[in-house]
Amino acid sequence: MRKSNTIVYALLLAAVLLIGRSKASAQSVIPVPLKVEQESGIFHISKTTRLYTNLKGKEKRTLADYLITLPAPFNAGINGKKNARENVIILQKKENAGRRQSAGNIPSSPESYTLEVTPAHILIQADTDAGLFYGLQTLLQLAEPAGEVAWKVQATHVEDAPRFTYRGFMLDVSRHFRSKEFVKKQVDALARYKLNRLHLHLTDGAGWRIEIKKYPRLTDFAAWRPEAVWKKWWFGEDARKYCEQDDPHAQGGFYTQDDIRELVQYAAQRHITIIPEIEMPAHSEEVLAAYPEFSCSGEPYKNADFCVGNERTFTFLEDVLTEVMALFPSEYIHIGGDEAGKAAWKTCPKCQQRIKEEGLKDVNELQSYLIHRVEAFLNAHGRKLLGWDEIMEGGLAPNATVLSWRGEEGGINAVKTGHRAIMAPGSHCYLDGYQDAPYSQPEAIGGYLPLSKVYSYNPVPAALMKDEAGLIYGVQANLWAEYIPTAEQCEYMIYPRLLALAEVAWSDPARKSYPDFRLRALQAVEWLQTQGYHPFDLKNEIGGRPEAAEPVRHLALGKTVKYNAPYNKSYQAQGDKTLTDGIRGDWTYSDGAWQGFISRDRLDVTIDLEAELDIHSVGADFIQVVGPEVFLPAEVIISVSSDGTDFHELTHLTHEVTKAEPITFRNYGWQGIATTARYVRYQARAGKEFGGWIFTDEIIIK
Ligand code: ACM
């Protein structure tokens, strides 16, 4: 009897501890604050609790409008008296804000705040209304529901400040259009996690998404297509065609100028700046279908790049940017700049004429001619140019800021030449990659970016000097939407990974710990679910590819590999030692463990075991990711030799390459009764029909 009582108590205690874990506390805030001290006592928020602020004018009205959107009793608004000190939440902008005298020793930032929770009152202090807003966000995360219209908050002292000024998220609304309501919902989440920039990728080949009064065809036509799902539209029978808005099959959409004003205001109320991106000179198929006169060919469906030789192109771009600047008060206007093919410019008489007249060297300088000219236009209107790191090719415009996506190199080069940079390298910041084992996930563009990897990112490369590091303006996560047809899937890709980015962007690296963050992220996922979001359910995470967990031992480990055909330089992994280093690849071919061979080159290697050995198996894994044209091999030949000259074939396998499995892994090998050999030759080639790439990580000989 006594014994079973003990067990019951133990179970009860465990249950209390478990429930306790899932509740809000100072340990649950994302991003983790600079300094948190729990104190004794509890503040009870109820219907009788009042809220007071010394904010005035527009700042006060903005706060009041925001409070209305919160749960009760916060939605009662600003209803407290100036001198109240009991049962009150005070948001106090410091009077001496001009001369900074922050409490404690928190770094100087206009967004810093202190939050003091005592059993009698809650006091949030900051130099700016933005700081007060972030203090309020921390309070909202600390508050635990305690019945209807009632919350309780553990007495706590918080001092907090952001690491970076620019804490961004990019949403691609071209590939699949997302509603105004959807964008607002994400703005709410961004605000909760103290992100402050929403970069909208408004234009691209898949559809133009913003009303421009002067060019109605952009939204009567270039915003619509006869197929909703990007993948079917891009690769389908009647691929990449747009249609009229009133076509019965029309899919897509755009934001009217009123919609944009509403979004900008909604975001501003939450201290988020929306940065519009208008792509140029490339990724502009949709514009050039609607207005072919701005392309080199003059015909629709021929070009993706604007004609830079044509003066009317600049009239168009300036007209569009003029309307865009009138809608978005942002410091930055993003002008794209990435992935220009530039091929048509090489033979276009107008482009060649421009190159000659301007004394440009080549088409790269023609691209930078356009960027410089557009920058001068933006600067003349009091705005700054932001662009993808290609804007540096051919010479960076003088005041431009670089958004570094092809790794960190663009950002590093930018700060070394005195420009600001924002880091968003594909390796850590591209949320369109798989967040868990691909077989368990909806089809993604490829790659593998688990929560832990986003979290591990440090936007300040170690190689930078202090003044250069100071030019790293911030960090941004990007969500490209080619493979994301629905709103639910979009949220699934965003959360919880964006929370990891938020902590990268806001928190002091010394305060970061992945195991601790993961516990907080599990709670945040539950909270997001209760609020109607569709996050990836982190508690079901499978994790990395089991093979990649630890090095594999086998007969060829560390042995010399002779390449009878070259591996591709872009995917060389660890070079000549890759295939016998014992390191297995993870869920993505770009992780430095998988080596790539383009179809015309094939994989053909000979491994020297340095002595005649008994062999009973030879095999290699291949990865297939259909999106980026990485396929399983069509043919594999394995042969052995004692002298390196005369080879004896052990097996010759063929396989019909199909696109049926978007992402898969398969081993191709031989097993048999032992054979004796010193040299093992492994050949594999891609299929003829699709070409593309083959990738393997290790040739395992036993
Ligand atoms: C990009 O991902 N093309 C910026």
Structure confidence by residue, pLDDT tens digits, 634-682: 999 999 999 999 999 999 999 999 999 989 999 999 999 999 999 999 9
Using only C-alpha atoms, the chain has a radius of gyration, in whole angstroms, of: 29
Sign of CA pseudo-dihedral 146, 151, 154, 160: positive
pLDDT (tens digit per residue) in 343-386: 999 999 999 999 999 999 999 999 999 999 999 999 999 999 99
Which atom of ligand 1 lies closest to the CA of 339?
Answer: 3
pLDDT of 234 > 70? The answer is yes
- If one compares 70 and 446, the residue with the highest pLDDT of the two is 70
Q: List, in sequence order, the alpha helices (H) in 456-593.
A: 466-469, 487-494, 497-506, 514-530
Closest Cα to atom 2 of ligand 1: 405
pLDDT of 98 > 60? The answer is no
547 Cβ below 6 A of ligand 1 = no
- Residue to mutate, 480, 482, 483, ligand 1, most ligand atoms under 8 Å from C-beta: 480
What pLDDT score was predicted for residue 149?
A: 84
| pLDDT (average), residues 100-127 | 84
What pLDDT score was predicted for residue 21?
A: 37
Q: Is 432 a catalytic residue?
A: no
Q: Mean pLDDT check: name the lowest of 8-22, 208-222, 396-410, 538-552.
A: 8-22
Show Cβ contacts of residue 624 under 8 Å, excluding neighbours closer than 6 positions. 630, 631, 632, 661, 663, 664, 665, 666
pLDDT (tens digit per residue) in 494-542: 999 999 999 999 999 999 999 999 999 999 999 999 999 999 999 999 9
Q: 431, 478 in Cβ contact below 8 A?
A: yes
Which atom of ligand 1 lies closest to the CA of 388?
Answer: 4
As a whole number of angstroms, the distance between CA 62 and CA 470 comes to: 31
Is the omega angle on the peptide bond into residue 31 within 30 degrees of 0, that is, cis? Answer: yes
What pLDDT score was predicted for residue 23?
A: 52
Which atom of ligand 1 lies closest to the CA of 426?
Answer: 2
pLDDT of 8 > 50? The answer is no
674, two tokens? 């032992």
622 Cβ below 6 A of ligand 1 = no
Which atom of ligand 1 lies closest to the CA of 336?
Answer: 4
- pLDDT bracket for residue 191 (50, 70, 90): very high
Distance 614 CA to ligand 1 centre (A): 50
What pLDDT score was predicted for residue 393?
A: 86
Which atom of ligand 1 lies closest to the CA of 405?
Answer: 4
430 Cβ below 6 A of ligand 1 = no
| pLDDT (average), residues 67-76 | 93
As a whole number of angstroms, the distance between CA 34 and CA 506 comes to: 9
- pLDDT bracket for residue 208 (50, 70, 90): very high
Q: Is 211 a catalytic residue?
A: no
- pLDDT bracket for residue 104 (50, 70, 90): low
What pLDDT score was predicted for residue 105?
A: 56
- pLDDT bracket for residue 578 (50, 70, 90): very high
Number of neighbours of residue 126 by Cβ within 10 angstroms: 27
Q: Which amino acid is at 36?
A: V
pLDDT of 238 > 90? The answer is no
- If one compares 2 and 159, the residue with the highest pLDDT of the two is 159
Q: Is 157 a catalytic residue?
A: no
For strands 648-654 and 207-208, give the pairing.
unpaired
As a whole number of angstroms, the distance between CA 549 and CA 543 comes to: 10
- Residue to mutate, 200, 278, 388, 402, ligand 1, most ligand atoms under 8 Å from C-beta: 388
| pLDDT (average), residues 64-91 | 94
371, two tokens? 């960027």
pLDDT (tens digit per residue) in 242-251: 999 999 999 9
pLDDT (tens digit per residue) in 447-481: 999 999 999 999 999 999 999 999 999 999 999 99
Q: What is the mean pLDDT of the chain?
A: 94
Nearest alpha-carbon partner for 67 in 80, 85, 84 = 80
With tokens 């804490």, the residue in question is 167
338 Cβ below 6 A of ligand 1 = yes
Q: Which of 121, 199, 271, 283 is catalytic?
A: 283
Q: Which of 339, 365, 393, 601 is catalytic?
A: 339
pLDDT of 580 > 70? The answer is yes
Nearest alpha-carbon partner for 178 in 128, 120, 251, 105 = 251
Distance 60 CA to ligand 1 centre (A): 39
Coil, strand or helix: which one is 160?
Answer: strand
Coil, strand or helix: which one is 76?
Answer: helix
pLDDT (tens digit per residue) in 142-161: 999 998 889 999 999 999 99
pLDDT of 24 > 90? The answer is no
198, two tokens? 């929403």
Coil, strand or helix: which one is 686?
Answer: coil
pLDDT (tens digit per residue) in 595-643: 999 978 799 999 999 999 999 999 999 999 998 899 999 999 999 999 9
What pLDDT score was predicted for residue 25?
A: 63
Count of residues for the chain? 702
**pTM of this structure:** 0.93
pLDDT of 308 > 80? The answer is yes
Q: What are phi and psi of 652, to 5 degrees?
A: -140, 100
Please tell me what DSSP assigns to residue 328: -
What pLDDT score was predicted for residue 97?
A: 56
339 Cβ below 6 A of ligand 1 = yes
- pLDDT bracket for residue 410 (50, 70, 90): very high
Show Cβ contacts of residue 490 under 8 Å, excluding neighbours closer than 6 positions. 171, 176, 178, 182, 479, 481, 484
Closest Cα to atom 3 of ligand 1: 338
What pLDDT score was predicted for residue 473?
A: 98
